[in-house]
Amino acid sequence: MSELANLLIGLAMGLNLLALGSSRLPSVIRTVAVQGMALGLLPLVLETRFDWLVALVAVITLLVKGVMIPTLLRRAMRTANIDREMQPVIGFVPSLLLGAAGTIAAVAAARALPLLPEHADTLLVPGALALVFTGFVLLVGRVKAISQVCGYLILENGIYLFGMLLIGSTPLLVESGILLDLTVGIFVIGIIVDRIQRAFDSLDTRKLTVLRE
């Protein structure tokens, strides 16, 4: 049971590095989508007995994270006519190394935390920490709005993974609410990306500083 869960979380942690290391936006989006789907399967794996509600949440998560959000992002990317992160604030090799260091630190830190015995030997907590850290690096280190959205999604995946610790006690409503927020958020960002592109002829978020007055 926990073997399979660890495999999924390990996969998500590996995808982190892929997201950090690739410069093409489509592959970053795909990476984030696969990561979201892998984590969406997690509730099914973690529950020992089959539960309709959990299954429903899983299916919705899969749909939203694996299909809907990537589609929205791809469309935003197409309208903005941009598919590459050219000059990131933190280069690709440094962000890869940073991500790896963060992952190792997450594993080490999780060992130091006082966890419940059933969570101690799973990758849940280190995985969540690593995902949050990776999302953070992407948010800080990239300049294109779409990469930053991807960073935000990875961050959210990390928080979702933390939520798995409490899977028994989180109401369904909260889960779906988060998902809804996320979808709306991405939808809005898609529109904004389009507007930024029209206004500035670029998606470089550093240029937004001229709006401060």
Partner 1 sequence: MIEVLEIILRLALWLLVAPLLPGLINKVKAWVAGRRGPPVLQLYYDLARLWKKSVVMSTLASPAFIAGPAVAWVALLGAALLLPLGPLGGAVSFKGDVLLVVYLLAVARFCTTWAAMETGSAFEGMGAAREVSYAVLSEAALITAILSLSVQSGSVTLNDMLAPSSGAGAVLLAGGLFAVLLAENCRVPFDDPNTHLELTMIHEVMVLDHSGPPLAVVLHGAAMKLLLFSVLLSEAVLPLAQWSTWQASTALAGAVTAVTIGVGLVESLLARFAFSRVPLLLTTAFLLCLFALLLAWKGGAA
Contacting positions for partner 1 (CB under 8 A)? 17, 21, 92-93, 96-97, 100, 103-104, 107
Query: Can you tell me the distance from the alpha carbon of 153 to that of 173, in angstroms, rounded to the nearest whole number?
Result: 20
Q: Which is nearer to partner 1, 6 or 176 (CB)?
A: 6
- Residues 100 and 106: their CA atoms lie apart, in Å, by 10
Smallest separation (angstroms) from partner 1 to the CB of 20: 10
State which residue, 14 or 185, has the beta carbon closest to partner 1: 14
* Least distance CB 212 / partner 1 (angstroms): 34
Q: Taking a C-beta distance cutoff of 8 angstroms, is the pair 128, 159 a contact?
A: yes
For the beta carbon of residue 84, count every other beta carbon within 10 angstroms: 12
For the bound state, the minimum distance from the C-beta of residue 39 to partner 1, rounded and expressed in Å, comes to 19
- Per the DSSP assignment, residues forming a β-bridge with 23 are none
- Give the shortest CB-92-to-partner 1 separation in angstroms: 5
Closer to partner 1 by CB, 105 or 167: give it: 105
Cα 104 to Cα 126: distance, rounded to the nearest angstrom:
9
